[in-house]
Amino acid sequence: MYTEFFGLSAKPFDLLPNPKFLYLSKGHRKALSYLQYGVQENAGFTLLTGEVGSGKTTLLRDIINKISTDVTLSMIFNTRVDGYQLVAMINTDFGLETKGKDKVELITDLNDFLLEECTSNRQPIIIIDEAQNLSEEGLEEIRLLSNLEADNFKMVQIILVGQPELKQIIAKPSLRQLRQRISISCHLNPLNREETEEYIYHRLATVGNRDCVTFQDGVIDAIFRFSGGVPRLINLICDFLLLSAFVEETKVIDMDLVQDALTELSFDEPVMQGSGFDASSGPHDPVDLNSRLARIEDNYAKLNANRSEKEAILERLSSQGSILEYLINQQQTQFGQFDDHLKKISAQIDRLRQSLLVDGKRSSIEESMGLRSKIE
């Protein structure tokens, strides 16, 4: 809703991993180059890791959009499965029948399919997101899939994507064979202070107006300090700031708006001058960022739950021309409904009185007739 106010074609800080908004920091550019090399050279195993919200999925979708038509793709997002289920999901994604088949049959079908694709000059790629949730059984199954190879080339390219703990999992002695097969590995770090500012203006420019809002001194420092340079956290804060600025009918974001945003999103540290906030200090530790992001996303979801209702109210207020006029119309409507209700009650009372009157007359007549019959 605030997009029209700021002259934007869309929300610049949407949480969806849209490759249209991809900002190539030094780390993201390096990771993108590694991924492209792995796909082009059919390198076998590629590993991409990064903190929650660092942009892994956005990077992946950019790669997918640029993949040529001679590539067959399977993407797995649900990784809390066992080995059999994992192979079944891969086969299903490739369009293979899985109903009623055991694991041996599934792997045989997959092997035949991959061989057919390669002989038809099509490159099969399996991308597994959130791979840190895979069990050791699942990871071992992935390693076994990499054994599906011809004499002089790999029949499938496998890209594992996950959070930093994925590296710790793969480092286990029991998974050393998998570790030895990973030919390309890259990690996405959070943005630094300069990249955070560039990221914010890049997203604004992507939807049409880089200068639609003015950030006062210290605001971007505060955004960086409390986001730790994590893109998803930056989006959460900036989206809330633009909404707050729209409600206040201002295109200047100051520290007061930042304070309100951080309070609403339940950040712990104060941000006002003289309150102990140090904008020059570095981002939080990764472990703290994980818990922080989970907490903030939960609170943001709760705040956003009522957003549609609030926006609808604001639209109605805007269409009426003023808050006062809207409230007056609202009260008049309520009074009209109240009057209609009173009229219905009044009509019911009249009918009741009439019934009582008729019953009273009937009782008098019956009483008179009773006396007459006694006299006779």
Q: Do you know the residue count of the chain?
A: 376
pLDDT of residue 289: 52
Q: Which of 72, 79, 28, 17 is nearest to 50 (CA)?
A: 28
Residue 141's pLDDT band (boundaries 50, 70, 90)? confident
Choice among 174-188, 269-283, 359-373 with the minimum mean pLDDT: 269-283
Q: Which of 4, 46, 48, 6 is nearest to 27 (CA)?
A: 48
Q: Which of 11, 23, 8 is nearest to 194 (CA)?
A: 23
pLDDT of residue 91: 93
Q: Which of 96, 80, 161 is nearest to 128 (CA)?
A: 161
pLDDT of residue 207: 92
Residue 272's pLDDT band (boundaries 50, 70, 90)? very low
Residue 160's pLDDT band (boundaries 50, 70, 90)? very high
- Listed by start position, the domains of the chain span 26-188, 195-317, 325-376
d(CA 56, CA 47): 11
Query: pLDDT for 56-107, tens place per residue?
Result: 988 888 888 877 668 888 999 888 888 899 999 999 999 999 999 999 999 9
Which helix (H) or strand (E) segment is 159 a member of?
Answer: strand 157-162
Q: Which of 256, 255, 300, 299 is nearest to 279 (CA)?
A: 255
Task: Say what percent of the chain tops pLDDT 70.
Answer: 68
Q: Is the pLDDT of residue 44 over 60?
A: yes
Q: Are strands 214-215 and 182-188 parallel, antiparallel or unpaired?
A: unpaired
Q: Is the pLDDT of residue 172 over 80?
A: yes
d(CA 251, CA 149): 58
d(CA 75, CA 131): 12
Q: Which of 150, 116, 140, 171 is nearest to 42 (CA)?
A: 150
Question: CB-side exposure of 68: number of CA atoms within 13 Å?
Answer: 7
Which architecture, in CATH terms, is 195-317? Orthogonal Bundle (1.10)
Phi, psi of 37 (to 5 degrees): -65, -45
pLDDT of residue 319: 55
Residue 213's pLDDT band (boundaries 50, 70, 90)? very high
Choice among 5-14, 84-93, 105-114, 262-271 with the minimum mean pLDDT: 262-271
Specify the CATH number of the domain 26-188.
3.40.50.300
Residue range 351-366: mean pLDDT, rounded: 61
First CA to last CA across the chain, in angstroms?
89
Same fold, 26-188 and 195-317: no
Helix H segments across the chain? 2-6, 26-40, 56-66, 83-93, 103-119, 136-145, 165-170, 176-181, 193-206, 219-227, 231-247, 255-264, 286-305, 307-320, 323-375
pTM above threshold 0.95: no
Residue range 173-181: mean pLDDT, rounded: 88
Choice among 141-145, 220-224, 288-292, 372-376 with the minimum mean pLDDT: 372-376
315 or 271, higher pLDDT: 315
Q: Are strands 214-215 and 252-253 parallel, antiparallel or unpaired?
A: parallel
Query: pLDDT for 305-328, tens place per residue?
Result: 655 565 555 565 555 555 556 555
d(CA 145, CA 134): 15
pLDDT of residue 15: 85
Q: Which of 139, 136, 173 is nearest to 47 (CA)?
A: 139
Query: pLDDT for 121-130, tens place per residue?
Result: 888 999 999 9
d(CA 119, CA 99): 26
299 or 119, higher pLDDT: 119
Q: Is the pLDDT of residue 373 over 70?
A: no
Q: Which of 8-12, 340-344, 349-353 has the highest mean pLDDT?
A: 8-12
pLDDT of residue 273: 39
pLDDT of residue 83: 87
Choice among 68-77, 93-102, 219-228, 235-244 with the minimum mean pLDDT: 68-77
pLDDT of residue 280: 38
d(CA 354, CA 260): 63
pLDDT of residue 362: 57
d(CA 294, CA 124): 35
